[in-house]
Amino acid sequence: MALMRSLLSKLSLIQISPKYLRPNGIVNSISSSRYILQVETTEKCAIRTLRSAAFNNYEGVKLNAAQQTSAEPQQEVLENQHDLELAVTKETITKVNNQIEENSHGRLFAVIHFAGKQRRVTDGDLIMVEGTHPTNVGDVIRAEKVLLLGSRDFTLLGRPLLRPDLVRVEATVVEKSLTHTKTIFRNRRRKNYMRINFCRNHFSILRINCVRLEGLVDQRPEVEGVEGRIF
């Protein structure tokens, strides 16, 4: 009996007081629930403000959840690119012109429009031109429509053609002959219709003598379209 009383007295001494409440802990007593709720709500507000701060890139944390966050206008300052671009362009053109003056560009290739077709040519190429051409074997021709000129380090693109005083492509007629015999056979089966024809077309073979640059880039003459004209 005495043991029981001592135990009971010891049990009665133990009290669950609100001071020892932990914010995340679960407590059985009813009186302490108010404290828990308060702590929880304040903590939730703190978390919310931290998250909003991170989103708005704010320095520091505002723990007062009632204050509204205002977004500052975001501006981007663009530098004037025109002068930079001009400088780079001039640098590139001088580099190309240096190569042209020193003749250090190497082998040049060109895209010429000749006899209805575009052909990519370089020195020493043979090109076949189908059809009758008013040239004779041994004539030297200049290809006037040059669309593109390229080297290892630079390309000159015509819009659509390059200037004739800038580029020169010359070719010699090497051979003029007829193609192999082509059969043109028409047949309508079971209708007693059959025709056979043979065809040989004229062609010329041209040897490209040279593809070269004659002027400097970005240096146009005062009067254009006068070269080669007879007045």
Partner 1 sequence: MLITRVLFNRAPKADNFWKRRRVFKLTAHYRGRKRNCYSIAIKYLHRALVYVKKGRKLKKKDAIELWQQRISAGCRELGSSYEALVRGMARCQIALDKKTLANLAIWEPRTFKSLTQIAAAKLRQEPIKGLNDISPPPAGVITRGML
* Position 21, amino acid: L
Tokens 């300052």 appear where? 77
CB of 158 to partner 1, least distance (A): 8
Toward partner 1, which CB reaches closer, 119 or 133? Answer: 119
What's the min distance (Å) between Cβ of 113 and partner 1? 8
Q: Judged by CB, which is closer to partner 1: 147, or 213? A: 147
Residue 5: both structure tokens together: 């009383």
Instruction: Provide, rounded to whole angstroms, the least separation between the CB of residue 132 and partner 1.
Output: 20
- Stated as kind and residue range, the H or E segment containing 100 is helix 82-102
Report the residue number, 73 or 116, with the smaller CB distance to partner 1: 116
Which CB atom, from 188 or from 229, has the smaller least distance to partner 1? 188
Three-state secondary structure readout of 114-136: ECCEEEEEECCCEEEEECCCCCC
Q: What Å distances lie between residue 61 and 50, 71, 81, 222, CA to CA?
A: 6, 15, 40, 70
Summarize as ranges the residues that interact with partner 1 (CB under 8 A): 82, 85-86, 88-89, 109, 111, 117-120, 147-148, 150, 155, 157-160, 182-187, 189, 194, 196
